[in-house]
Copies of this chain bind each other. A is one copy, B any other.
Amino acid sequence: MDVADIAALHAEILQAAARIKGVAVRTPLLASAALDARVGARVFIKAENLQHAGSFKFRGAYNRLSQLVGAERRSGVVAWSSGNHAQGVALAARLLGMPAVIVMPADAPAVKIASTRALGADIRFYDRYTESREAIGDRLAADRGATLVPSFDDPHIIAGQGSCGLEIAEQARARGVALDALLVCCGGGGLVAGISAALHVESPATRVYSVEPADFDDLARSLVSGRRETNRADARSICDALLAPQPGEMTFAVNRQTLAGGLSVTDDEVRAAMRFAFAELKLVVEPGGAVALAALLAGRIDVAGTTVGIVISGGNVDPGLFAAIIEGA
């Protein structure tokens, strides 16, 4: 499949949705009177922090791994990840009875490391800023005869994440709602590519925007320039899940066709969004999972009087960091 063919990708998303049906959580599309009042719009929240292993990543991982058979399944998988893809792959591997090795940055949140280990995966650490996770992963996979499972630049991963977009379209229809816009977080771009491809077919009038941390706005700049821009090597953000250096090749081939634009938010806006989610939504949201809410609350696009969706993509956050943020630090 050529992911840049949006109709073909949509067909693949339908197949992915069938594969994960009854295995992944069909997460709720929530509403909040407090949020509506705050932003002057009708807002619907796709709560992927309520997905298995605490983020949307299980969708793509299970879609990919469930298609491995025979010797491939016995040899298992290798993945690199800052934490959420790690947990998604580890859980999918456990459910499917295959071994998994995960290459994780040494500074990944402790909760993500512990959770990945508890799910039965072997972990290999690397330095996020000096080592190449790709090189480590390639070598590990070659040594073990294992299948490498990319965190975003893979048609089956993108299609699996796209199942979240199908659900949004179905759940909006079931409520008699038409979404004018939808805001989705973006690291490597797999989630927003899958969701935007799904909505491109299911709800073509919905304008889909990516949201990135301010110093990791490679996709926003790439959408403007038309080529894959990179972030500065010294860029930092509390959004540990969204620190990709540049758009994926496949994800950008989708996103350049399907997105209405790219937004970005500061870490302080992310903290404010996490506090709002705690106080008003009663949801535990990790920094990277809060950027779409942050963009909405910060008024990055004019939503007055419209109907808008946001994706909360994950809730895997260390208690110490969460405590500091809700107490206003």
User: How many copies, total?
Assistant: 2
Instruction: Tell me whether B284 and A282 are in contact (CB under 8 A).
Output: yes
Q: Mark A25-41, 1 if CB is under 8 A from B, else 0.
A: 10010110110000000
Chain B contacts of A31 at CB under 8 A? 25
In the complex, the answer to whether A282 meets B283 with C-beta atoms within 8 Å is: yes
Partner pick for A282 among B30, B49, B279, B319, CB 8 A cutoff: B49
Name A327's contact: one of B34, B50, B91, B320 (CB within 8 Å). B320
Contacts of A49 in B (CB 8 A): 282
The distance from the CB of A63 to the nearest CB of chain B, in whole angstroms, is 17
Contact B28 A30 (CB under 8 A): yes
A284: which of B28, B91, B284 is its contact (CB, 8 Å)? B284
CB distance from A285 to the nearest CB of B (A): 8
When distances are taken between beta carbons in the complex, the residues of chain B under 8 Å from A260 are none
Q: Would you call A181 an interface residue if the criterion is a C-beta within 8 Å of the partner chain's C-beta atoms?
A: no
User: A50–B30 contact, CB under 8 A?
Assistant: yes
Interface residues of A, Cβ cutoff 8 Å to B: 25, 28, 30-31, 33-34, 49-50, 52, 54, 91, 111, 275, 278-285, 315, 319-320, 322-324, 326-328
A/B interface sample: 27 pairs, CB < 8 A: A25-B31, A28-B28, A28-B30, A30-B50, A33-B52, A33-B91, A34-B52, A49-B282, A50-B281, A54-B282, A275-B319, A278-B319, A278-B322, A279-B319, A282-B283, A282-B285, A282-B315, A283-B283, A284-B284, A319-B326, A319-B327, A319-B328, A320-B327, A322-B323, A322-B326, A323-B323, A323-B326
Q: Which are the 10 A-B pairs with shortest beta-carbon distances?
A: A282-B315, A323-B323, A28-B28, A282-B284, A319-B326, A49-B282, A33-B52, A323-B327, A319-B327, A278-B284
